[in-house]
């Protein structure tokens, strides 16, 4: 017999603790239909991390024990039932959405005119980030994008980065570090090749990993970082996000698991980006495919997400640099750092896909961190310079920045 003990988390994402009367590795749970267990985050057995295979509401852990934890998505954000216990989830305050991935508030948030750039004014990174550098970094750009479109080009990237003067600003070294971070993040989102768990590639600063080191897939001799920008939407997940607050799904629209360089997801984020780009949140809510085939939107959506604070989550920009884009961003960031969490790539990863954090780093984190190093070195920086004031240990980072540090 399995007993439900407790759960903690948000309206949409919880970690449950369960106890079995006898030692086992297989749990067959009686759950309500709105509980979807998350195999990607793994679980724990008697306090030790463990892989877990999920078959509906049947869980098979790699280790045997009596006390288990497992994370789950609550697909409608409402009360759920496990082992005969009904649990009410925390309500999102002020219409805010506490999604574990690509989160945002329930209201479309427009970046102020002061934060917007002028597309006719050159961005500082254009002084060193040239078309030749772009071509060298991304030989397989547009490899297999949606409907055969080719949205990635140096011209499109530079045109759209001018709208975000706060991105990759400051001294040239800081510009290079933040651009390397964005491209490293993108490598796991739209790259055509990821690292694998286990192998000879040991990444400096990343010590708590699922297996020892990482390795390159053998189907091509070209390293994974050469395969960035291969897609314009996430592969293998051509489905709508069916759970969200504030913006229900529109007829005949799909808000994909990922569209654009950073894989914009959920109706609320389409609304926020549409408000910024068009001044009307309905444009992209009614034309969601634009974000994965229009060259400007493919790029601008990622830069917008990187620079925009949302709900109780700091902007990716602030997570990486420590420089807030506004007062709310500053307050969110300080709540998190006051708990001891450090700025850097790990916190930015938590802002993009928090389910990769607070667990031993797997190939997803390895791909992002390796990309950060490789692009940074291509820009002339050393690994020590890239790790300077930049924390990368995702196992020691909060998995959900929407709740971490909130009073």
| Statement: the pTM of the whole predicted model exceeds 0.75 | no
**Cα separation of 24 and 152, whole Å?**
50
For residues 368 and 324, the answer to whether their CB atoms sit within 8 Å is no
Say yes or no to pLDDT of 81 above 80.
Answer: yes
In three-state secondary structure terms, 43 is strand
Residue 18 host element (H or E)? strand 13-28
**Cα separation of 336 and 360, whole Å?**
20
Residue 35's beta-bridge partner residues? 74
pLDDT at residue 176, rounded to an integer: 98
**Which of 29-43, 150-164, 245-259 is predicted with the least confidence, judged by mean pLDDT?**
245-259
Location of structure tokens 């994974």: 224
Domain borders along the chain are 2-91, 94-407
Average pLDDT over residues 200-221: 95
Average pLDDT over residues 41-68: 84
pLDDT at residue 235, rounded to an integer: 64
Angle, vertex CA 307, rays to CA 104 and CA 185, nearest 5:
90
For residues 10 and 98, the answer to whether their CB atoms sit within 8 Å is yes
Q: Where are the beta strands (DSSP E) in 207-260?
A: 214-216
The highest-level CATH class for domain 94-407 is mainly alpha
Instruction: Kindly report, residue by residue over 105-127, the tens digit of the pLDDT.
Output: 334 444 554 555 555 688 999 99
Average pLDDT of the chain, as a whole number:
85
Average pLDDT over residues 28-41: 80
**Cα separation of 154 and 161, whole Å?**
11
In angstroms, what is the C-alpha Rg of the chain?
21
Dihedral of alpha carbons 163, 164, 165, 167, sign: negative
Instruction: Kindly report, residue by residue over 241-275, the tens digit of the pLDDT.
Output: 444 445 666 766 666 557 889 888 877 788 888 88
Please count the CA atoms within 13 angstroms of the CA of 1 that sit on its side-chain side: 4
Largest CA distance in the chain: 68
Average pLDDT over residues 72-94: 72
pLDDT at residue 319, rounded to an integer: 97
Question: Please, which residues have CB within 8 angstroms of residue 190's CB and are 6 or more apart in sequence?
Answer: 228, 229, 230, 231, 232, 233, 234, 258, 261, 263
Question: Please, which residues have CB within 8 angstroms of residue 351's CB and are 6 or more apart in sequence?
Answer: 313, 314, 315, 316, 319, 401
Instruction: Kindly report, residue by residue over 7-18, the tens digit of the pLDDT.
Output: 876 666 678 899
**Cα separation of 245 and 96, whole Å?**
8
**Cα separation of 167 and 158, whole Å?**
12
Question: Please, which residues have CB within 8 angstroms of residue 226's CB and are 6 or more apart in sequence?
Answer: 137, 138, 139, 140, 193
Q: Which two tokens stand for residue 186?
A: 């993108």
Instruction: Kindly report, residue by residue over 386-404, the tens digit of the pLDDT.
Output: 999 999 999 999 988 877 6
Q: Which two tokens stand for residue 26?
A: 């297989």
């Amino acid at each position: 017999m399995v007993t439900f003990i407790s759960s903690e988390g948000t309206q949409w994402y919880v970690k449950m603790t369960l106890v079995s009367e006898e030692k086992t590795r297989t749990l067959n749970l009686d759950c309500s239909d709105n509980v979807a267990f998350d195999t990607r985050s793994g679980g724990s057995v008697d306090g030790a991390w463990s892989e877990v295979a999920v078959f509906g509401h049947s869980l098979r852990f790699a280790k045997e024990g009596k006390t288990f934890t497992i994370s789950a998505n609550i697909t409608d954000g409402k009360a759920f039932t496990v082992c005969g216990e009904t649990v009410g989830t925390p309500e999102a305050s002020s219409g805010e959405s506490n999604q574990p991935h690509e989160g945002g508030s329930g209201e479309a948030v427009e970046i102020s005119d002061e934060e917007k750039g002028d597309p006719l004014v050159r961005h500082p990174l254009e002084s060193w980030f040239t078309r030749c550098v772009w071509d060298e970094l991304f030989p397989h750009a547009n490899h297999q994008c949606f409907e055969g479109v080719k949205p990635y080009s140096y011209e499109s990237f530079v045109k759209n980065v001018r709208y975000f003067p706060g991105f990759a600003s400051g001294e040239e070294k800081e510009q290079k570090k933040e651009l390397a971070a964005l491209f490293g993040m993108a490598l796991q989102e739209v790259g055509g090749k990821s690292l694998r768990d286990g192998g000879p590639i040991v990444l400096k600063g990343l010590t708590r990993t699922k297996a020892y080191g990482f390795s390159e897939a053998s189907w091509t001799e070209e390293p994974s970082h050469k395969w960035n920008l291969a897609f314009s939407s996430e592969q293998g997940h051509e489905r709508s996000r069916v759970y969200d607050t504030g913006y229900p799904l529109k007829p005949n629209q799909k808000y994909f698991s990922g569209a654009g360089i950073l894989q914009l997801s959920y109706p609320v984020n389409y609304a926020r980006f549409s408000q910024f780009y068009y001044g009307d949140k309905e444009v992209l809510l009614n034309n969601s495919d634009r974000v994965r085939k229009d060259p400007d939107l493919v790029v601008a959506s990622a830069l917008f997400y990187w620079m925009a604070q949302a709900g109780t989550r700091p902007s990716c920009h602030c997570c990486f640099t420590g420089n807030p884009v506004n007062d709310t961003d500053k307050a969110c960031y300080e709540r998190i750092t006051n708990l001891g969490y450090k700025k850097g790539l790990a916190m930015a990863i938590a802002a993009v896909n928090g389910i990769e954090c607070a667990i031993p780093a797997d190939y997803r984190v390895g791909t992002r961190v390796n990309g950060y190093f490789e692009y940074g070195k291509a820009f002339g920086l050393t690994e020590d310079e890239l790790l300077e004031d930049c924390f990368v240990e995702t196992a020691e980072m909060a998995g959900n920045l929407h709740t971490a540090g909130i009073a």
